[in-house]
A and B are shown apart, each in its own frame.
Chain A
Amino acid sequence: GNSVTQMEGPVTLSEEAFLTINCTYTATGYPSLFWYVQYPGEGLQLLLKATKADDKGSNKGFEATYRKETTSFHLEKGSVQVSDSAVYFCAIQTGANNLFFGTGTRLTVIP
């Protein structure tokens, strides 16, 4: 079956610290991979995506690389800011209407 496992939170970091949020998946076929972010009081919005093996998605200083051999899509940022405080969701898509989300990781960045 298809599923996503991501690092449980909450994660608390100081400003300018390095961030990694782990995400692994199981899927039939070759899924597209996504990270969505949910800021307080808002819906989810796409942060970055990768559609094939070894692709690197990047946006707003965040990066994630599609690792087929380890079925992973870990989210990283070199220097987090207070404004990055949010809930981050890893997701895989195996078909037009087959999208599977992880349970979300809450990040809090303190000044």
Chain B
Amino acid sequence: DVKVTQSSRYLVKRTGEKVFLECVQDMDHENMFWYRQDPGLGLRLIYFSYDVKMKEKGDIPEGYSVSREKKERFSLILESASTNQTSMYLCATSRTASSYNSPLHFGNGTRLTVT
């Protein structure tokens, strides 16, 4: 079974802080994703990566950046946290870059509160 581990379940940060959300997977998947989940809006893609050091913007990249230095690790960075970034953040992986029916495997999420 694929295991996708997000380093924190809950985080509370202050406005203006730099925030790092970490995600590690153990199944050698090429693709990794960061989503945020908000009530009534479903899941929105922030960034994704299909290979080490490669990244692509998703639907809502503003205020975020990412880092993928190793295949198994994908970090989401909030450069200067704001209250509108309070949300549930979900990391996901999928198996191959060439397949359009590879399902996503999700971590348990990090609930971030920015005060």
Contacts and interface: CB of A to CB of B under 8 A. Distances in A.
A49 interface: yes
Give chain B's interface residue range (CB within 8 Å of chain A).
20 to 34
A45 B5 CA distance: 14
Interface string A16-54: 000000000000000110101000011111100101000
- Most B CB contacts (10 A, CB to CB) among A32, A46, A49, A101 go to A101
Interface of A: 31-32, 34, 36, 41-46, 49, 51, 89, 93-99, 101-104
Interface of B: 4, 31, 33, 40-43, 45, 48, 50, 56, 90, 92, 94, 96-109
Contact of A44 (B48, B94, B104): B104
Given A43-B106, A44-B106, A97-B50, A51 B101 contact: yes
